[in-house]
Amino acid sequence: MSSFKVFWVAFLMSYRVFFTRVDCKKSLVPAMYVFGDSSVDSGNNNNLNTMAKGNIYPYGIDFNNKSTGRFTNGKTFADLIAVKLGLPLSPPYLGVSEYERYKVVTGINYASGACGILNDTRVGDCLSLDMQVKYFTSTVTNDLPQHFQRKDEVQNHLSKSIYLLSIGSNDYALNYFSSTTYQNKTPIEFADFLLEKLGSKLKELYDLGARKYVVAVAGQLGCSPSKFCEEVKNEKIKPLSDKLPKKLQDLQAQLSGSSFISSNPFNFFNEIKNAPEKYGYRVFFTRVDCKKSLVPAMYVFGDSSVDSGNNNNLNTMAKGNIYPYGIDFNNKSTGRFTNGKTFADLIAVKLGLPLSPPYLGVSEYERYKVVTGINYASGACGILNDTRVVRRN
């Protein structure tokens, strides 16, 4: 588990509240809309005339061995966030027929491999950031109103949703480093130029209703795809990620009600490069999946710290099934001796398991059905048989 934590902390810096509230059944936000390049494309390029396609083997080899168009062996960084938020993976905009788009209200992916922040960054056909925002505008003006009855419901949906952008690498790889168009700009000037354009697009999203953003820009391209790092290249790209947080702070101050999180793959990659084992790098991309739990079951033993309701069924004063116990558990007093979840519940959630029901709360004839764990804990009892306050049956 600790490797997950490090991963999220590093990638998302301050959204910790989000991720401590994870519950696979209920999503934490209504939707996540994704913009960017091949780092997050979930299949838009399958539908475009380009060589940059991810729908061939071995792409997807760790995604049920299905090449979906993602440029990775497994899930993208956007997919992992969707899972953490309890959302389905956002389908590619171009992969959903025009007549069905209004049905997708948990988020859409507009990202496109081999495209960038600038219109003239491209190889073959791709969706530039301009085009991605244009398609999102169509989602807002044509599709969402078919799902929601009222205009304020659309605005409410948009303001609570997450907008994830991961873009900028190709503006270096396919443009700054490989054409003469911007060669008169210093790396710092080019970074400012990209941020200016990116900022104007973030503002367009704001004007359409977006409020919560997560933004990532170019990582260490100098290290891709070879194992050796061209540090001269990396030094030229670094100003973009160095300057991003300030740019986002300025936008946040300027756009009322907005909130921006910058993710810094550039620095994160550095840390991995220096200590790969510390990050459990080999496992953490493949093991997070809310639909599949990480272990088959969790059996819980103990006292009131973890009792999930056994004492409700015993002759004792030590019961947690009265108000205000459970005040933060949908205001339901379940028998837990706490306002919310117990420590065992929090672990179950992290493991992707349902909360273990109390042994005495499940009828004898139904117990065989519970294979994801049972809770035997009992308040006011202890390790010793004679530790107890009230005689129980």
For 311, the token pair is 């004492």
Q: Give whole-number Cα distances, 254 to 250, 260, 344, in Å.
A: 6, 12, 43
The nearest distance, CB 323 to ligand NAG, in angstroms, is 4
**Nearer to ligand NAG by C-beta: 87 or 94?**
94
The nearest distance, CB 242 to ligand NAG, in angstroms, is 24
The nearest distance, CB 135 to ligand NAG, in angstroms, is 11
- How many Å apart are CA 58 and CA 197, to the nearest integer? 35
Mapped onto helix, strand or coil, the DSSP state of residue 300 is strand
What stretches of the chain show up as alpha helix (H) in DSSP?
Answer: 2-12, 16-20, 77-85, 129-138, 144-147, 151-160, 169-171, 187-208, 231-254, 265-274, 281-284, 343-351
Cα-based torsion angle of the residue sequence 221, 6, 375, 307 in order, rounded to the nearest 10 degrees: -140
What stretches of 1-150 show up as alpha helix (H) in DSSP?
Answer: 2-12, 16-20, 77-85, 129-138, 144-147
The nearest distance, CB 146 to ligand NAG, in angstroms, is 25
User: Closest by alpha carbon to 379, among 298, 297, 314?
Assistant: 314
Interaction residues for ligand NAG, span 50-69 (CB under 6 A) = 57, 65
Interaction residues for ligand NAG, span 330-369 (CB under 6 A) = 331
Should residue 387 be labelled a site residue for ligand NAG when binding is judged by CB under 6 A?
no
Size of the site for ligand NAG (CB under 6 A): 8
- How many Å apart are CA 271 and CA 384, to the nearest integer? 48
The nearest distance, CB 276 to ligand NAG, in angstroms, is 26
- Partners of 375 in the beta sheet? 300, 358
For 134, the token pair is 């244009």
The site string for ligand NAG over 124-163 (x = CB under 6 A, - otherwise) reads ------xx--------------------------------
For 165, the token pair is 């952008």
The nearest distance, CB 1 to ligand NAG, in angstroms, is 28
The nearest distance, CB 93 to ligand NAG, in angstroms, is 15
Q: Contacting ligand NAG (CB under 6 A), which of 228, 323, 365, 368?
A: 323
Should residue 385 be labelled a site residue for ligand NAG when binding is judged by CB under 6 A?
yes
Interaction residues for ligand NAG, span 64-123 (CB under 6 A) = 65, 119
Should residue 315 be labelled a site residue for ligand NAG when binding is judged by CB under 6 A?
no
**Nearer to ligand NAG by C-beta: 22 or 133?**
133
Q: Which residues bind ligand NAG (CB under 6 A)?
A: 57, 65, 119, 130-131, 323, 331, 385
